[in-house]
Structure 1
Amino acid sequence: MISRSFDRSAMSWSYEMHLQPLLSATDIEGLPFGSVFGSVPAHSVSKRHAHHDGEMFIVLAGKAVVVLGDEEREFGPGEVVHLSPFGFHEIRNESDEPFDIVSVYWEHIPSAVAALDKLPPHEQLPARALVFCPPPTPNGGLHLGHLSGPYVRADMLVRALRSMGRDARYVTGTDDHQSYVASAARLRGTEPGAVAKAEGDTVIATLRAAEVGCDRLTRPAGDPEHADRIRALFDRVVTSPAVTEQEHPTAYCPTCDLSLHQAFARGFCAHCEASSDGEICEACGRPNEARELTGLKCRICGTPATTRPERALWLDLNAYAEQLREYLRGAYTSPDLQALVERLLDEGLPPYRLGRTTDWGVSLGEGQALDAWADLALTFLDAARAESEQGGPAKITLFLGYDNSFYYAVLLPILAFAAGLADHLPAAFVTNQFLHLEGEKFSTSRGHAVWADDAIAAAGPDAVRLALLRNAPEGRVTQVSHESAGHLAQDPLYRGAHAWLAGFAALDEECGGKVPGTGAWTDAHREFYRHLNLITRQLDGLLLPESFSARGYVQLLESFVVRAAEFRATDTPMRRVGSLAEEARTSLALEYLAAKVFAALAWPVTPVLAQQVWDWLGLTGHPVRETDWSFLPTGATCLAPAPELATATQAAAGERP
């Protein structure tokens, strides 16, 4: 006889609850399930998670709410609940007593696979989405390092959602009130407003040249109502008891008579020793105060910094630490961002200065302006609120560089809590690391860059987008060289797609410019059609914020083009056999369907080429993604794309057209 007893002293902490082994196959040979005792402490919530196993809770004592997906129900002693595979669940115990259960779980792969089939990725994508990107700082033009981060990747998601019939909007702008704009103006001997306007116009033009569509642009310096709206939100923030006026020693340059913060301060991070400006270290993502940097100097004149006392409003971030933890529990955060924020929370959040001694930005009076990052956060909330009021609720996904993690995953939510605007926070954060040039970070000031405008002029927006998406710095630093940046059109997908599509000129001659209907099917036809539907589902799965991967998307899209070219190569001989005329019709119909599928799946990556293919197939509007692909109408007229595609293919290969 084998027995086990519920024993709190024998429990360990896992899944944010107490667990104790019960019985499993290691105890009883052949036992087809595992089991544990579990206890969720009073006034706590277990970790939200999913398994591929089936699971059953048998309640021993206490009462709590079991949440499974969008369902939730209270359970008490003697009750049983079954949890399906891959169903995200948690236990919310709001009572004064522990909630004690027995969990029984088992693996049944057919059930797990069936559960996946019931959760197709496209159904998990929202009906209405707002996709935000941090506004670029208008102190210079955009280089490939800028584009490779959030901007093209976010546009890829917006286009994909629109092709599925979703209401998706892209929100960005220019970060006009950054100290980097003010410091650039000082160094150039001009005014910050002039820099923000001129460089901001250039930034927006570059985004448009890269086929990045912006539905809402926030341009603070050119918006006469911006300051009043942001001050109104800031007034809500300062009512929080966590905001107090304090005096602290502040980095100062006596030569320039400048309060040194952010772009005006330059030294080395006290945590990782990397070169850093004031208030944030891009290398390790940790916040700082400029005076904490080692070797601190004034960026304008190079004078070693001193300090002086300054009074300002400060926000006690730690006062909202638990609310921040709770918010981030329900939002998706990329693993690198999650690790950083959890480390910062465990160490204790630093206080944050809300007013800066500067004449650039939203004035707070007495020689101070709203901190640029607080201004940016409130601008985000203002835009999100306006979008919600105009179009209704939406799921917000924020694409951001890892160096902005603290500001967007800590400062932004806490300001939203203080202002009562938490409903307008992101539901998902998708980060990127950095694209390096020749092993070093892109640098505008040192001229260590490949400018986006130059690359687009040389290779076209499709080739630039494709190269950046293939080499996107997702979860890692990626590299580009001057040589590879000069040959962006050599990408294998770019060349392969043009070559395959150029081959449709010969098919048009066979069909007389008319798309044939299907006839008899072979096994190869069936499997190619299956492939078209399966790869669409696979690509859909890479669009979920939780699994978003531009790199993976490009690789799968390339495999689709290879598969389509192989299908043509192996099926073409059959079309010359008179007795197989019925099979030949199906083969040709599948080829035209593959072109339709390509246009829809490639539109997020290479929008110019994809739209061209969609148009010559006689289809209207922008490319539309289907769940199960329908054939082109029999007899539809296709305008041969051969001349344009052949030219592009030869150009990509470095040949004379």
Structure 2
Amino acid sequence: MQNPKRYLVTAALPYANGLKHIGHLAGAYLPADIYVRFLRAKQKDVVFVCGSDEHGTAIPIQAMKENTTPQAIIDKYHGIIRQNFADLSISFDIYHRTSSPLHHETSREFFTRLNDAGELETRETEQYFDEKANTFLADRYIKGTCPNCGNPNAYGDQCEKCGTSLSPDELINPVSTLSGEAPVKRKTKHWYLPLNRHEDFLRNWIVGEHNDDWRANVVGQCKSWLDGGLQPRAVTRDLDWGIRVPVEGAEGKVLYVWFDAPIGYISATKQWAIDNHRDWEPYWNDKDTQLVHFIGKDNIVFHCIIFPVMLKLYGHILPDNVPSNEFLNLEGDKMSTSRNWKLDMQDYIDDFVNQPNGGPALVDALRYYLTQIAPETKDSEFTWKGFQDAVNSELTDIFGNFVNRAMVLMHKLTSGKVPPLHTEALTEADRNMLAQFDNSREKIEKLLVGYKFREAQYEVIDLARIGNRYLQGKEPWKQVKNVDATGKVLPEAQQSIDNCLHICLQTCANLAIFINPFLPNTARKMLHMLKVVDKMLEWENAGKTKLLSVGYSLRAPELLFRKIEDTEIQAQVEKLKSNSIAAAGETVATGSDTAPPANSTEPVSDPVKEIIQFEDFAKIDLRTGRILEAEKVEKADKLLKLTIDLGFETRTIVSGIAKDFQPQDIIGKQVVVVVNLAPRKMRGIESNGMILMAQDEQGKLHFVQPENTINAGAGVS
């Protein structure tokens, strides 16, 4: 959208069921904050909303773990998460919560309008019911034996041991986690959003309108969902905790959390408008508003498929862009709350920001490194050594060093005042440095508008790098030695000194403007030293060469950053390892289940299996094959019966991929098959082999197949 009247920026609502780690911060909240601060600097009308997601099974499950109530859980973690964001300079205009009366009212009204308009449909299904607890059971409240690996503690939606996605019907000997009793099947009615009716709209909107301006990972995942065919999705569930469904015959039912959570953006905007005596409606109903959702990749389907359908049906505007980041790993492994392999925002605040040598500079140090390694196009990795190198080698030795040298030399060589610029004495190096201001502004602005925050931050540091080279080349500390017989600096030498330091100080002023979206605390410390007001940070000043007045006295320089010591890094690495070992020990000792909540936005990381020898691996015979026929297995939602050409023979293999693939769509697919696996009967069909599949963070399966076409039966090694 060109030149919108206003902007509404959202960041994914974090679950209020526990502490949030820096992977969450890097995924949605920091990039959103950078973008919003840039828009504010451009004097745009922008509202930045977020809030705690406080419904769904994750909350009561956490309450059971902590032996308390769901309300106590959300009150506890809502406050902690909100303060963590504030401590790390995430500048929401409002941080709301979905337990608020306003959100309940907004969600019920949203459901009612869609239901009354006939945009929802009802279905009656059978669901497990706990007669002792007198309640229907969500998938995470059911445990049983995994039919694939025999794990006796598999959940109704997934086995955490082998990683297989399950349904409660597939569990062997299922029991309720509430009572320990075997559940029974009872009929229940639910309301569904028929996404299948809106496939053409979504395809035209995403692929037709946004194929080129949205990130490739977003468009690619959306295409995958659309190509697989959309199905009606339940918007209600049988649960005690949540927003009551506002229709007759829905007793004991609440809105499904995926339905009410994104409506939290709307209710948060309403609350902001009430608090600031503004009108909320233009931000959701005026087509001159640019709506931008910042999310992690595990939320793409909700923000690009489901919520847009809801918005369209209600009459609200659609998102202009949905910048989605990949995942941030930690020291060579995926972050995992269950394994305690993580760096919580609270831990960083306690260990760095709140220490005597911490403060706002250490907030910006984390912001800088997370932006430098932002997983914008692929998964990236946080390492403590990388953090140390980024702070010491770039922030301190390049950016901080340039600002400090310019300020120190100004106090030493020009009496602490901004020296004049002698235009008649400008050299080519001087002119090139002055021209660099506008060149940097153009590059940085283009990258920020395009949501390329890593590259934009690099350009800011590069300007400081160029400034260091310029200062080193001019050597004003040597020019001061060019004196006449009376000891006075020669006029041409003084002009060279003045021009160099004038340009360096104007560079510092521009650096303050450019760094502000990324490192706001650093920008304000620079303003203090330069004795200018916040208004200078407005983007209209970016690239200008006369930001500081000649003859103006500046304050004494202060170091912007401190070095990160080896001992600090070693302590953090040891803490990470010891926490992980302690978590593993606690799991073994208590037999506790360490699975993340069903609605968690954190990717599940399966532990590496025990070491095997090469001889063990060599026993596996992997061959390429091609699917000749595929059909669904009766009374088995997950199973497909496949006929596979292995070159030397044709095999029947039963595979649990029916939820992700339609039979007609996989005919002719190349696959990799374990051909020497012992036969196994499944639903009365003998399966002779196993197909290799990969599972993404959403639980969706993908074929593991050769890059190029290979004859069936070829060995894989």
- The letter for the 1-side match of 2:40 is R
Q: Which runs of 5+ in 1 are unaligned?
A: 1-69, 71-123
Distance 1:294 1:147, change over 3 A: farther
Deviation, 1:173, is 0.7
Considering Cα pairs closer than 8 Å and 6+ residues apart, tell me whether 1 or 2 has the greater RCO. Answer: 2
Q: 1:496 aligns with which of 394, 398, 407?
A: 398
Q: 2:255 aligns with which of 370, 390, 397?
A: 370
What does residue 585 of structure 1 align with? 498
What does residue 192 of structure 1 align with? 70
Aligned counterparts of 2:132 and 2:139: Cα–Cα separation in 1: 18
- The letter for the 1-side match of 2:118 is P
Deviation, 1:280, is 11
Confirm whether residue 535 of structure 1 aligns to residue 448 of structure 2.
no
Deviation, 1:388, is 4.2
Q: Is the 8 A contact 2:192 2:235 kept in 1?
A: yes
Aligned counterparts of 1:186 and 1:398: Cα–Cα separation in 2: 33
Q: 1:607 aligns with which of 520, 526, 530?
A: 520
What does residue 446 of structure 1 align with? 339
What does residue 467 of structure 1 align with? 369
Distance 1:634 1:316, change over 3 A: same
Q: Is the 8 A contact 1:148 1:472 kept in 2?
A: yes
- The letter for the 2-side match of 1:624 is E
Deviation, 1:125, is 6.1
Aligned counterparts of 2:187 and 2:261: Cα–Cα separation in 1: 26
- The letter for the 1-side match of 2:209 is G
What does residue 330 of structure 1 align with? 209
Distance 1:230 1:467, change over 3 A: same
Deviation, 1:356, is 0.8
What does residue 241 of structure 2 align with? 360
- Measured against aligned partners, the alpha-carbon deviations of 1:478-502 in whole angstroms (never above 9, x if no partner) come to 1123555677743523442222222
Alignment of 1:179-578 (within 5 A): 179-221=57-99, 223-250=100-127, 259-261=136-138, 264=141, 290-291=167-168, 308-328=186-206, 329-331=208-210, 332-364=213-245, 365-383=250-268, 388-389=280-281, 393-421=288-316, 423=317, 425-457=318-350, 458=352, 460-481=362-383, 484=386, 489-490=391-392, 492-503=394-405, 504-519=407-422, 520-544=425-449, 547-573=450-476, 575-576=479-480, 577=482, 578=490
Distance 1:476 1:299, change over 3 A: farther
Deviation, 1:295, is 8.5
Q: Is the 8 A contact 1:312 1:356 kept in 2?
A: yes
Q: Which runs of 5+ in 2 are unaligned?
A: 148-152, 274-278, 354-361, 483-489, 569-717
Q: Is the 8 A contact 1:126 1:166 kept in 2?
A: no
Distance 1:604 1:324, change over 3 A: same
Q: Is the 8 A contact 2:290 2:319 kept in 1?
A: yes
Aligned counterparts of 2:181 and 2:565: Cα–Cα separation in 1: 51
Deviation, 1:308, is 4.8
- The letter for the 2-side match of 1:620 is V
Q: Is the 8 A contact 1:183 1:300 kept in 2?
A: no
Aligned counterparts of 2:173 and 2:61: Cα–Cα separation in 1: 16
Higher normalized strand content (fraction of residues): 1
Q: Secondary structure at the match of 1:333?
A: coil
Q: Is the 8 A contact 2:434 2:545 kept in 1?
A: no
- Measured against aligned partners, the alpha-carbon deviations of 1:279-304 in whole angstroms (never above 9, x if no partner) come to 8999xxx9x99548889978957999
Distance 1:487 1:572, change over 3 A: closer
Aligned counterparts of 2:176 and 2:467: Cα–Cα separation in 1: 56
Distance 1:296 1:163, change over 3 A: farther
Aligned counterparts of 1:187 and 1:653: Cα–Cα separation in 2: 37
Q: Is the 8 A contact 1:134 1:399 kept in 2?
A: yes
Aligned CA RMSD, in angstroms, stands at 3.4
Further displaced range: 381-390 or 331-340: 381-390
TM-score by length of 2: 0.66
Aligned counterparts of 1:333 and 1:455: Cα–Cα separation in 2: 32
Q: Secondary structure at the match of 1:173?
A: strand
- Measured against aligned partners, the alpha-carbon deviations of 1:182-224 in whole angstroms (never above 9, x if no partner) come to 2211222211111111101100100011100110222122x22
Distance 1:604 1:330, change over 3 A: same
Aligned counterparts of 1:594 and 1:508: Cα–Cα separation in 2: 16
Aligned counterparts of 1:553 and 1:255: Cα–Cα separation in 2: 59
- The letter for the 1-side match of 2:314 is A
Aligned counterparts of 1:479 and 1:600: Cα–Cα separation in 2: 29
